[in-house]
């Protein structure tokens, strides 16, 4: 009895994502180690074995000279490390934060493959560049010569901005058109702030403006200005408009209030973090606070939605995916992060419809099993008869991916060739389209992809545009 009296039930404080100690993989030297950040970054960089077969470098889409900037960091030569890293990457601090390193550089680190845990290349890259910003080593562009030729860039995402940076450095006149009120594309309004802080993106855009890049915002090509008018005003054009058409679920009840699209949901959250008026958020329509949230999809956008819902104070967050964990398209690291934060994954489950009164009340879930591999080699999900149930929900987020808009029709340019998926047809090296002097880069060519690939495309397209302008001698000869 006496023993029983001594027993006490202690309610542990609920662990929030902010309070949880970060794992080695997503460590941030500045935030975690503070005054010891430099030593810790050097220690981590010093783990690189300088193996001589830099698979990390060949698996980085930008072929960053990773071993050399790791060595410089280990030696404490941070400014040189920064110079080397920025020579191949327009936004190293952004890639360091949001590249899926487990599928790119770090996943191919020989130390990782020998079972000793990768050198955390992304966090070192972020550390080097954040330090460069703090120390004033990142300078606005100052071209050695001004050139008369002008280039229009449609789309201020990473693809467009990477091209703008390269062209401006060489003295070309660059105008970037974007239909949004802020530049940055999905880096600004898609990717959540807990993965990519917005001031990090904005400081880059300010730097480009200081360097002479002109931005024309709130300007949708195809409605506010025609594509022909842009072509007429500039010597070359780069289309970098990304992919924005949501793939919607086709099931009864999908139009119910509370069944929303991922990008609307994430954009509202990002706008709110800028301090904007967002009526759909304030009304609760695009806010997960106090709600049972179900996110449908298995890619990285779905992971961003579930993790945003947790941060907004949802009472429960479930992620429905029709295949299993091993067959998810999203990064395993992101799934792990979401699980650690309290997201429940409901594998082998697909929506059949939605129950609703005035607003959505539940998702009718049909259970699946994996059958024979399809043409792509992935096992196709098959229905299990009679295993349906209703998952209660107050907010359902559809995160099934994105497709390109019909640009030739919307812009009145039928000669602009597209693939059968609606992406723009462009040469894979020069990025030239079917129209002379018109190039295309990023997601609008690749389909939904990654920031680092958009940067690579933008940089390559800029080089090709300079070659084109030199050949045609557009303005220089006048
Ligand atoms: C939710 C989400 C999370 C993601 N997370 C990651 C991540 O963690 N890591 C990663 O590497 N990648 C991530 N991605 C993918 C990455 O954001 C994209 O691959 C990348 O932004 C593509 O760059 P882009 O320049 O091609 O297009 P975008 O970034 O989409 O930019 C295109 C720009 O073009 C503008 N535009 C479109 N049409 C017009 C028009 N008619 N007139 C004028 N302007 C126009 C748009 O307003 C936009 O600003 C994520 C994507 C999403 C949706
Ligand atoms: S750009 Fe991305 S893939 Fe390349 S080194 Fe940096 S984090 Fe790795």
Question: Could you tell me the CA-to-CA distances from 381 to 128, 290, 323 in Å, in that order?
Answer: 44, 33, 6
Beta bridge partners of 351: 365
Atom of ligand 2 nearest to the CA of 62: 4
Tell the residue nearest (CA) to atom 8 of ligand 2.
Answer: 105
Handedness of CA 436, 155, 298, 336 (dihedral sign): positive
CB 136 within 8 A of CB 181: no
The DSSP symbol for 128 reads H
CB 294 within 8 A of CB 393: yes
CB 367 within 8 A of CB 335: no
State the DSSP string of 328-361: -SS-HHHHHHHHHTTPEEE-SEEEEEEEESSSEE
Q: Which ligand is nearest to the CA of 102?
A: 2
Give 87-127 pLDDT, tens digit per residue. 999 999 999 999 999 889 999 999 988 889 999 999 999 99
Distance between CA atoms of residues 457 and 185, nearest Å = 15
Nearest 10 degrees: CA dihedral of 462, 468, 470, 476? -100
Cβ-based neighbours of 6, under 8 Å, separated by 6 or more? none
Distance between CA atoms of residues 401 and 420, nearest Å = 17
184 φ/ψ angles, rounded to the nearest 5 degrees: 120, -20
Q: How far is the CA of 135 from the centre of ligand 1 (A)?
A: 30
**180 Cβ inside 6 Å of ligand 1:** yes
Distance between CA atoms of residues 208 and 105, nearest Å = 27
CB 363 within 8 A of CB 390: yes
Q: Which ligand is nearest to the CA of 126?
A: 2
Cβ-based neighbours of 178, under 8 Å, separated by 6 or more? 154, 155, 156, 160, 185, 215, 216, 217, 219
Nearest 10 degrees: CA dihedral of 412, 416, 419, 423? -70
Handedness of CA 264, 270, 274, 275 (dihedral sign): positive
Residues in the chain: 478
**125 Cβ inside 6 Å of ligand 2:** yes
Distance between CA atoms of residues 343 and 403, nearest Å = 27
Q: How far is the CA of 41 from the centre of ligand 2 (A)?
A: 16
The DSSP symbol for 313 reads T
CB 221 within 8 A of CB 234: no
Residue 196's pLDDT is 95
Q: How far is the CA of 286 from the centre of ligand 1 (A)?
A: 20
Distance between CA atoms of residues 250 and 117, nearest Å = 43
Q: Which of 104, 195, 196, 459 to mutate to test the pocket of ligand 2 (most atoms within 8 A of CB)?
A: 104
Distance between CA atoms of residues 322 and 383, nearest Å = 10
Residue 13's pLDDT is 36
Per DSSP, the three-state class of 447 is: coil
Give 258-300 pLDDT, tens digit per residue. 999 999 999 999 999 999 999 999 999 999 999 999 999 999 9
**103 Cβ inside 6 Å of ligand 1:** no
**449 Cβ inside 6 Å of ligand 1:** yes
Q: What is the pTM of this model?
A: 0.92
Q: Which two structure tokens, joined as six digits, stand for 469? A: 């302008």
CB 318 within 8 A of CB 394: no
Q: Which of 240, 241, 269 to mutate to test the pocket of ligand 1 (most atoms within 8 A of CB)?
A: 241
Cβ-based neighbours of 12, under 8 Å, separated by 6 or more? none
pLDDT tens track of the chain, all 478 residues? Answer: 333 333 333 333 333 333 333 333 345 887 787 777 888 889 889 999 999 989 999 999 999 999 999 999 999 999 999 999 999 999 999 999 999 998 899 999 999 888 899 999 999 999 999 999 999 999 999 999 999 999 999 999 999 999 999 999 999 999 999 999 999 999 999 999 999 999 999 999 999 999 999 999 999 999 999 999 999 999 999 999 999 999 999 999 999 999 999 999 999 999 999 999 999 999 999 999 999 999 999 999 999 999 999 999 999 999 999 999 988 888 888 899 999 999 999 999 999 999 999 999 999 999 999 988 887 777 888 989 889 999 999 999 999 999 999 999 999 999 999 999 999 999 999 999 999 999 999 999 999 999 999 999 999 999 999 999 999 975 544 4
Tell the residue nearest (CA) to atom 48 of ligand 1.
Answer: 185
């Amino acid at each position: 009895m006496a023993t029983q009296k001594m027993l006490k039930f202690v309610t542990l404080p609920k662990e929030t994502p902010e309070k949880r100690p970060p794992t080695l993989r997503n460590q941030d030297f500045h935030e975690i180690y503070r005054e010891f950040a430099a030593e810790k970054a050097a220690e981590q960089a010093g783990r690189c074995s300088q193996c001589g077969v830099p698979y990390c470098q060949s698996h980085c889409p930008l072929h960053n000279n990773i071993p050399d900037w790791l060595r410089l960091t280990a030696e404490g030569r941070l400014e040189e490390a920064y110079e080397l890293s920025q020579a191949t990457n327009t936004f190293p601090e952004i890639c360091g934060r949001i590249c899926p390193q487990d599928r790119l550089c770090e996943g191919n680190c020989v130390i990782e493959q020998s079972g000793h845990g990768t050198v955390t290349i992304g966090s070192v890259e972020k550390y080097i560049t954040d330090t460069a910003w703090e120390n004033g080593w990142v300078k606005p562009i100052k071209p050695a010569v001004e050139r008369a030729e002008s280039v229009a860039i449609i789309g201020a995402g990473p693809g467009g901005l990477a091209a703008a940076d390269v062209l401006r450095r060489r003295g070309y006149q660059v105008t970037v058109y974007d239909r949004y009120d802020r530049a940055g594309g999905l880096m600004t309004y898609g990717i959540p702030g807990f993965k990519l802080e917005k001031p990090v993106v904005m400081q880059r855009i300010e730097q480009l403006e200081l360097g002479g890049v002109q931005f024309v915002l709130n300007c949708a090509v195809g409605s506010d200005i025609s594509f022909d008018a842009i072509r007429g005003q500039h010597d070359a054009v780069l289309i970098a408009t990304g992919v924005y058409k949501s793939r919607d679920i086709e099931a009864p009840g999908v139009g119910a209030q509370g069944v929303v699209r991922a990008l609307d949901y994430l954009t509202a959250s990002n706008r709110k973090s800028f301090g904007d008026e967002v009526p759909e958020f304030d009304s609760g329509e695009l806010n997960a606070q106090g709600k049972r949230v179900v996110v449908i999809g298995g890619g990285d956008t779905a992971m961003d939605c579930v993790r945003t819902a947790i941060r907004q104070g949802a009472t429960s967050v479930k992620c429905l995916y029709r295949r299993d964990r091993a067959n998810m398209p999203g990064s395993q690291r992101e799934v792990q992060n979401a699980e650690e934060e309290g997201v429940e994954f409901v594998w082998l489950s697909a929506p059949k419809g939605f129950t609703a009164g005035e607003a959505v009340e539940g998702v009718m879930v049909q259970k699946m099993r994996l059958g024979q591999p399809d043409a792509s080699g992935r096992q196709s999900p098959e229905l299990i008869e009679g295993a349906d149930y209703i998952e209660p929900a107050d907010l359902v987020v559809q995160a099934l991916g994105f497709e390109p808009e019909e640009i030739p029709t919307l812009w009145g340019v039928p000669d602009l060739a597209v693939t059968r998926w609606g992406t723009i047809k462009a040469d894979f090296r020069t990025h030239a389209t079917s129209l002379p002097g018109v190039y295309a880069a990023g997601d609008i060519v690749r389909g939904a992809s990654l920031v680092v690939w958009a940067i690579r495309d933008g940089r390559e397209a800029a080089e090709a545009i300079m070659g084109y302008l030199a050949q045609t001698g557009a303005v220089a000869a006048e």
